[in-house]
Structure 1
Amino acid sequence: MRRYILHQLPKSPKTYASIVISSLFAVIAIYLFIQVAEHMQSVFNAIYSGKEYLIFLTAPIFFALIVFIDKKYFKYAGGSGIPQLIAATDSRNKVIRSMLLSFKIAIIKVVFVSLAMLCGASVSFGGPSAHIGGSIFYNFATLIKLKRKLLIHSVIAIGGCAGLIVAFNAPIAGFMFAYEEIGRKLKKQALILIAISCGIIYLFFDIFFSSGYYLIDLSSNSLELKLIWQLLPIAIIGGIFGGLFAKISILLITKFMFEKTKKVIIMALIMGTIVASLNYISDNQIAGTGQKETLMMLDGKSYGIEFVVFKYISTLASFLSTIAGGLFMTSITIGSGIGSEISELFPHINHQVIVVMAMVAYLSGVIRAPLTSAFLVLEMTNLLNLLVPAIIISFIASVISKQISNKPIYEAIASNYLMLTSKH
């Protein structure tokens, strides 16, 4: 066994040095990115407080501006960033990988997400953090002239892991994310190096920046296994609405991805106007990641079914516009809204448990990565004692979502990026 494990690991000391340096650099860069983006959300709240009408001017203009700059000068800095990581690991072409993952892309990603937060877009940081991390790791690997394809693709996956670990303080979810999404085509031997690297990344993050659970410590909650069957409706609802989100996104993004810049900008203007309208109606409650609202709903507050609808539409509009921004926390917020509204239908199960399971179900329905979805939400809330019901709910939601949208959302968009890069 020892000989087998050692055979799978790189033998060059400079490879390990590169991973350690990349880990430290990525942790610092992603942490600073999140601090800047969160500050921009605070600036947004300050600017528009009492002046909600201004968003009708700024949101459409900012949406169009971000898309225009990206399409004209960068081409691959928009969207979540996870499809770019998947496309880079799927490609054997160095030129294509360099197009999708570069220091330039990482820097402009920070700018684009900050602008998105400043204009009230419903976006989060997980996907962009993964894109930034993947870009950093890939370019450090290039600097040391790493040539073995398995190692090159592995370090890209490790960079994606770094994004989730730093953004959400979720090391297990970060590893599962590499297994299910970014590195799904990697040989299983690569997972040994990825697991070790996740440990190094988490160690750096925990030493320098960790401030506790991303959401709240709910470890005092429990669930009797005989009540798991009652959670089936939650899995069904999460799978259906998550699958519809993925289906619509894949359909429209695929349609507009290859269109001329003018049509894409018009699409961004329309989506920006939709987001502006929903912000105005909701007093800006649907802007940003939704972390604050999720914490309130876990604490028992109800924002009403209209919040769920508005957040769903605004997140869909933000994603369809192809501005930079992720789906993880916004999807979790939508799931928490669903759970909050239906929790009274489950009198024998704690409200917080219902909300958490709805978060898992909806996220799994959207991204179709059931292990990542379960571990991410449970690590955010310190509820790993509910791992069994969470995984069951997550897998059921994923299966139901598949009946609506055959191909996972990130994988489908990644295929489009591979086709797009082959034209340049």
Structure 2
Amino acid sequence: MRRYLSHQFPNEIKTYASLLLASIASVIVITFFLEVSDYAQHSFKNLIGTDPYLSFIITPIIFVGIVYVAKYYCHYVQGSGIPQLIAATDSRNKSIREQLLSFRIALGKIGFIFLGMLGGAPIGIEGPSIHIGGSIFYGFNRFIKLNRKFLIHALIAIGGSAGLIVAFNAPIAGFLFAYEEIGRKLKKQALILIAIMSGIVYLFAIMYRGDVNYLTNLSTYSLELTLVWQLLPLAILAGVLGGLFSKSTLFLINKFITHSKLKVITIAVVLGFIVASFNYLSTGQVAGSGKDEVLLMLGGTDLGLDFVVMKYFATLTSLASTIPGGLFMPSISIGAGIGSEVASFYTQIDTQVIIIMAMIAYLSAVIRAPLTSVFVILEMTTTLHLLIPGLMIAFIANWISKQIFAQPIYEALADNYLKLTGK
């Protein structure tokens, strides 16, 4: 037994010490990243709230600057960062992993997301937190010096899990994300290590900043299982919209690939002006991650169908530009908007429950990770008692989305990175 354990797990004290240090570093760095990014997006919203026309100046300039610098000087900070983690675990090439994940990449991600938020980009900061977490843990491998492939891949998955846990304060979702998106090919021994380290990261996060809900406590709301069938149309709607979103995003990203610097700048300017138009029309409401808007809708505020439409297309435009930015929270806000709009048709179910189910369904349809989608929403709202209806609606929306676009969006983007690096 001892020989088996030493073969399957790291057996040096310095390895576990480094893992603990990486956990602490991830909590501190990602918390700092979330705070400065939140400051940046609120600064833009406050500015645009008084003078919406400024968006037509600020947003295109920021888009051009970020797209140009990221493309030609630090290409692997683009997008949410989750495809980079998937590509790093799929690749057998050490040099490729070091291009995708490093302390330098983590620093670049923080800087570009801050600028993007300051420029009114409708991007999330939670997906990039996963990239930062993976980069920090993989960066610590220079001290740990793990050589076995499955342990290196486990290290990357632990980092991704840590990023989601710190971002959303959702430990179960963090582990499930590592399994669904990054660690599907990992051995059970690696999954045990990921589970243990996920718990440790969550403990450090609580000790550092307290145990708080990412959104709000909705534990008093419930749903009778006899009414679950009524959610089927909502699951279908979310599945269709999520599938179309993923398909359109991949189509536009591939369509805009060019090696001409003039075309790169032109595309960035045009997409920047499109996002600026949405910021102007919404007075900055579609800018940023969408967390504030989700809280408003959960509190009973109706933001209207125009918010859903503008957030949907603004997020699509931003992702198509390839600027660094996450997809989790913008998708959750779009899902909340969908739920808020259809809630009036559900007279027997509380509006808050409909919004929760819509967030689960739409997020599952977009990222195609139903278990992660269910638990991240339920943990953020303290509604784990809604697990059964949540699972049902997530898997239905996931299936509907798959009929529209077969390959999950993160896997498709990861394939693009592997093609660029030549695997």
TM-score range, shorter chain: over 0.9
Q: State the SS of the aligned residue for 1:129.
A: helix
Residue correspondence of structure 1 range 22-421 to structure 2 within 5 A:
22-257=22-257, 259-421=259-421
Pair 1:381–1:262, CA change in 2 (3 A): same
Pair 1:228–1:3, CA change in 2 (3 A): farther
> How far, CA to CA, are the matches of 2:2 and 2:199 in structure 1?
19
Pair 1:98–1:257, CA change in 2 (3 A): farther
Residue correspondences, number: 423
Please state how far the C-alpha of 1:144 moved relative to its aligned partner.
2.5
Q: Is the 8 A contact 1:77 1:108 kept in 2?
A: yes
Q: Is the 8 A contact 1:5 1:192 kept in 2?
A: no
Pair 1:36–1:86, CA change in 2 (3 A): same
Q: Is the 8 A contact 2:45 2:285 kept in 1?
A: no
> How far, CA to CA, are the matches of 1:208 and 1:197 in structure 2?
16
Question: Cα deviations across residues 46-100 of structure 1 (Å, max 9, x unaligned)?
Answer: 3223211111011111111101111121111111000001000111100000001
Structure 1: which amino acid aligns with 2:103?
Answer: F
> How far, CA to CA, are the matches of 1:247 and 1:221 in structure 2?
34
Q: State the SS of the aligned residue for 1:218.
A: coil
Please state how far the C-alpha of 1:5 moved relative to its aligned partner.
7.1
> How far, CA to CA, are the matches of 1:304 and 1:69 in structure 2?
37
> How far, CA to CA, are the matches of 1:160 and 1:334 in structure 2?
24
> How far, CA to CA, are the matches of 1:347 and 1:383 in structure 2?
20
Structure 2: which amino acid aligns with 1:16?
Answer: Y
Q: Is the 8 A contact 2:240 2:400 kept in 1?
A: yes
Please state how far the C-alpha of 1:186 moved relative to its aligned partner.
1.9
> How far, CA to CA, are the matches of 2:255 and 2:45 in structure 1?
34
TM-score scaled by length of structure 1: 0.97
With 357-366 and 265-274 compared, the bigger mean Cα shift is at: 265-274
> How far, CA to CA, are the matches of 2:246 and 2:196 in structure 1?
32
Structure 2: which amino acid aligns with 1:167?
Answer: A
Pair 1:227–1:8, CA change in 2 (3 A): farther
What do you get for the CA RMSD once the two structures are aligned? 1.6
> How far, CA to CA, are the matches of 1:261 and 1:34 in structure 2?
32
Please state how far the C-alpha of 1:257 moved relative to its aligned partner.
4.1
> How far, CA to CA, are the matches of 2:168 and 2:5 in structure 1?
30
Please state how far the C-alpha of 1:258 moved relative to its aligned partner.
5.8
Pair 1:211–1:260, CA change in 2 (3 A): farther
> How far, CA to CA, are the matches of 1:150 and 1:88 in structure 2?
12
> How far, CA to CA, are the matches of 1:375 and 1:257 in structure 2?
35
> How far, CA to CA, are the matches of 1:7 and 1:297 in structure 2?
51
> How far, CA to CA, are the matches of 1:263 and 1:186 in structure 2?
41
Please state how far the C-alpha of 1:269 moved relative to its aligned partner.
1.6
> How far, CA to CA, are the matches of 1:336 and 1:389 in structure 2?
16
Please state how far the C-alpha of 1:168 moved relative to its aligned partner.
0.7
Gaps of 5+ in 1: none
> How far, CA to CA, are the matches of 1:79 and 1:420 in structure 2?
15
Structure 1: which amino acid aligns with 2:396?
Answer: I
Pair 1:176–1:2, CA change in 2 (3 A): farther
Q: State the SS of the aligned residue for 2:215.
A: coil
Aligned-pair identity in percent equals 59
Pair 1:346–1:135, CA change in 2 (3 A): same
Please state how far the C-alpha of 1:284 moved relative to its aligned partner.
0.9
Q: Is the 8 A contact 1:8 1:192 kept in 2?
A: no
Q: Is the 8 A contact 1:66 1:112 kept in 2?
A: yes
Pair 1:83–1:261, CA change in 2 (3 A): farther
Structure 2: which amino acid aligns with 1:194?
Answer: I
Please state how far the C-alpha of 1:320 moved relative to its aligned partner.
0.8
> How far, CA to CA, are the matches of 1:186 and 1:260 in structure 2?
40
Structure 1: which amino acid aligns with 2:58?
Answer: T
Q: Is the 8 A contact 1:235 1:393 kept in 2?
A: yes
Structure 1: which amino acid aligns with 2:338?
Answer: I
Structure 2: which amino acid aligns with 1:206?
Answer: I
Structure 1: which amino acid aligns with 2:236?
Answer: I
> How far, CA to CA, are the matches of 2:417 and 2:30 in structure 1?
23
Q: State the SS of the aligned residue for 1:194.
A: helix
TM-score scaled by length of structure 2: 0.97
Pair 1:144–1:343, CA change in 2 (3 A): same
Q: State the SS of the aligned residue for 1:71.
A: helix
Gaps of 5+ in 2: none
Q: Is the 8 A contact 2:48 2:283 kept in 1?
A: no
